[in-house]
Chain A
Amino acid sequence: MKEKKTIQLFIQIYWTFFGALTVIDKIVPDVYLYWVGADFYTLFIKSFASLGITDPIFATIALAVISFIEVLAFVCYLFSLINLFKGKDKFSEEWFYRGVSFSVLLFSIFSIGDQVFGDRFNLLEHGIFWIILVVSWAVYKYCSLTEERVINFSLSKDIKIGLLVGTLLTVITSYLILDFSKNTFTNKKQPVQGEEVVQDVYKFDFPFLGDKFVMENTLKAFEEKHPNLKVNYIYTGPDELNSKKKTHMLLYVFTEQQK
């Protein structure tokens, strides 16, 4: 196994998938079966509307231009990867450089947009991806310029022990994952049991798997269990009331006696 070539391969695989999925996200703009993605169209429409540009043509043109640069970057990464597989390292490097240039241009445009639209979180995200891209290009170049190192792994005693320990740990972990899944999957539908914390106020501590169906089942079960109570208000406990990451969602149900 060639050490530096492998790292180059991983860098190219990462950016090729990154480019491909970004393009797919534009082609498939909404939520479908097997694809959720991010709704960039809505984001662009809202961002432009915040500038006072409500005509959707501007947001649509901006998205199309962005998408075009993303396609260019993806094609470059793809050609770079194909050339690397074919052993044409020089062509691969040239295509990778073109891909990185398009991506740097893209993240620079995004960063300018983020500042215009006042979106500091996206500015941080795009700035971080910009530096990751530049540094991964530098690492790629470093791998091209320095001497290759070949790793010869034979099935020596230490490797055998490593593989055995790894396999054993994976088997144990897999068994426990399946066991946990089997024991907790019912939380996906099962109603949550409420606890009366204040007179006529019930608290429901939802499990992490609990969703809208659990909520509906919980309310149904609660009303069946307490036919004399009328639910007159439901309050979702805000994050500040949660015990950091341990609590998924707290729901308080305020009731009164049926007349």
Chain B
Amino acid sequence: MANNYLESNNRIMGKDLIRYFILIYWISFWLFNVIDKIIGGAHFLFVGKDRFAQMERLFDSLGLGNPIFANTALIITAGLETFAFVFFSGALYHFIKKNIDATRSWFFIGIVLTLTTFTYFSIGDQIFGDHFELLEHGLFWFITLLSWIIFIRIDKIQLFDNFSIGNKQVFASIVFTIVITAVSTFSIFSHNHTSFIERTQVIDAVKITENKYKIKFPFLAGSKAFESSIAKFKADNPSLNINYIYTAPAPLRLAESDGLIIYIQTDSIK
């Protein structure tokens, strides 16, 4: 590979920064995808996505329940992702060294591997009939193409000559930032102080008809809040037996302002 070195020129700093962002984005994108495959399953400090379960269920839907199919597909994916990560990392290394020709070549191979991965995923999405994932992978395919074009054409785009801003504006923007950050931070901490309790808080049931009760949970409520509320309902109504729980579907809730609402149907214990 030819070693053409970039001239040190302050005016291209902004363009270099965009190239750094593109490289760092793709390196971290593939790094975390590989880590997700290495870790597998949800653990403390890393949830990720259980790709094996996802692949196994998809292949099972085709009638290919043997795990060998899901494993093979996952290993091919992991290989493509790993090499994409390595080539983008190599591109970053060469970019730091100002070896622009090598950067472009390594970046190009990373792009080719990324396009291959998303094309491979998109084919699978159509076979498995998952059009939401098809849209997701189509978008990433598109982002890959665009990031290649921006990476190689950024020199042709007129950016500002330097980042200098007047002292008055710098001072005003700093004051403005500090004030708004202080207000939003106070608001976040205050909300945490008053609302975190809702995560596990017991909710009282409201009687709707003779044998039907409603429980309206706050947004933060999790399974513990549900269980505690059911326990309290049973303790408050020892003569009643829960025989049905109806979850209010989205059309019965007020747009985004209602959390989970359940209706409990009971009969008397004989």
Contact = CB atoms under 8 A, between A and B. Distances in A.
Contacts of A151: 105, 108-109
Contacts of A238: 247, 260
A223 to B, nearest CB: 18
A14 B121 CA distance: 11
Nearest to A25: B126
B47 A170 contact: no
Contact of B42 (A31, A246, A250): A246
B223 A250 contact: yes
Given A18-B122, A139-B149, A199-B234, A240 B259 contact: yes
Contacts of A246: 42, 47
Contact of B112 (A6, A22, A166, A240): A6
Contact of A21 (B41, B56, B126, B247): B126
A258 interface: no
A15 B247 CA distance: 43
Given A162-B90, A181-B67, A241 B221 contact: yes
A247 B224 CA distance: 13
Chain B interface bracket (under 10, 10 to 19, 20 to 34, 35 or more): 35 or more
Interface stretch (B6-14, B19-27, B69-77, B159-167): B69-77
Interface string A146-186: 00010111101010001001100110111011101100110
Interface in B55-86: 56-57, 60-64, 67, 70-71, 74-75, 78-79, 82-83, 85-86
A237 B115 CA distance: 39
B63 A34 contact: yes
B78 A170 contact: yes
Contacts, number: 206
A109 interface: no
Q: Please classify the interface of chain B as helix (H, G, I), strand (E, B), loop, or mixed, using the class held by over half of its residues.
A: helix
Interface string A217-251: 00000000000000011010110111111111010
A177 B74 contact: yes
Contacts of B260: 238, 240-241
Contacts of B104: 149
A156 B102 CA distance: 11
B243 interface: yes
A132 B102 CA distance: 29
Of B86, B123, B230, B259, most A-chain CB atoms within 10 Å: B86
Nearest to B50: A208
Nearest to A173: B78
Contacts of A68: none
B119 interface: yes
Of B53, B54, B102, B105, most A-chain CB atoms within 10 Å: B53
Interface string B95-116: 0000000101110110110011
Given A174-B78, A177-B78, A245-B47, A233 B226 contact: no
Contacts of B57: 208-209, 211
A13 B116 CA distance: 10
B115 A10 contact: yes
A241 to B, nearest CB: 5
Interface residues of A, number: 79
A60 to B, nearest CB: 20
A177 B227 contact: no
A10 B54 contact: no
A142 interface: yes
B241 A36 contact: no
A119 interface: no
A180 B54 CA distance: 13
B148 A7 contact: yes
Contact of A14 (B82, B115, B146, B234): B115
A132 B139 contact: yes
B138 A128 contact: yes
A129 B37 CA distance: 29
A38 interface: yes
A176 B74 CA distance: 11
* Nearest 7 A/B pairs, CB to CB: A208-B53, A180-B40, A21-B126, A240-B260, A36-B129, A33-B63, A198-B231
Contact of B138 (A37, A132, A169, A180): A132
B128 interface: yes
B252 interface: no
A240 B56 contact: no
A3 interface: yes
A57 B93 CA distance: 61
